[in-house]
A = this chain, B = another copy of it.
Amino acid sequence: MHYVAIAAQPLDVQALYEKLKAPQFGGIVTFVGTVRQWTADVETHAIEYTAYTEMALKELTKLATTIEAQGANVVIVHRVGHLALTDEAVFVGVAAAHRGDAFKWCEYLINAVKQQVPIWKKEFDTDKIRWGGLE
């Protein structure tokens, strides 16, 4: 069964990983996105994430159930609030019978999260504040 959430607290990677495990699924692929210091020559100190929470949960549930219908366990959790360098912003995990599927589905899901789930980042960079998606 899938688990999706928008979390105001730090992500517990171990606990989320454990939700994926199942005797029928031998390959578990996870993606974790953390706050990165440098993007080209822009230095980031912190990121504040906000979400349209109810709609984001609906979109995450749609994504998760579509993949689970093909034979998988799916966990997707996105953090909101103020994050420092190396803090976990997002966890996407897929457990499947075969590793090729697990890799493919996990990468599909993180791409879909970035494209269609109503979550926004406000990036606190050394030179100025940047809103993600706008420049």
Q: With A13-B14, A14-B13 in contact, do A86 and B36 touch (Cβ < 8 Å)?
A: no
User: Could you say which interface size class chain A belongs to?
Assistant: 20 to 34
Assess the A30–B29 pair: CB atoms within 8 A. Answer: yes
Assess the B31–A99 pair: CB atoms within 8 A. Answer: yes
Assess the B97–A36 pair: CB atoms within 8 A. Answer: yes
- How far apart are the CA atoms of A26 and B110 in the complex, in Å? 13
Q: Mark A22-36, 1 if CB is under 8 A from B, else 0.
A: 111111111111111
- How far apart are the CA atoms of A23 and B107 in the complex, in Å? 22
Assess the A102–B31 pair: CB atoms within 8 A. Answer: yes
CB-defined contacts of A13 to chain B, threshold 8 Å: 14, 17
| Docked complex: A8-53 residues within 8 A CB-CB of B | 13-14, 17, 21-38
Assess the B21–A37 pair: CB atoms within 8 A. Answer: no
- Which of chain B's residues has its CB closest to A15's CB? B14
Q: Which residues of A contact B (CB under 8 A)?
A: 13-14, 17, 21-38, 85-86, 97, 99-100, 102-103, 106-107, 110
Can you list 19 pairs linking A and B with CB atoms under 8 Å apart? Answer: A13-B17, A14-B14, A14-B17, A21-B86, A23-B36, A23-B37, A23-B85, A24-B36, A24-B38, A25-B34, A26-B34, A27-B31, A27-B33, A27-B34, A30-B30, A31-B102, A99-B110, A100-B107, A103-B107
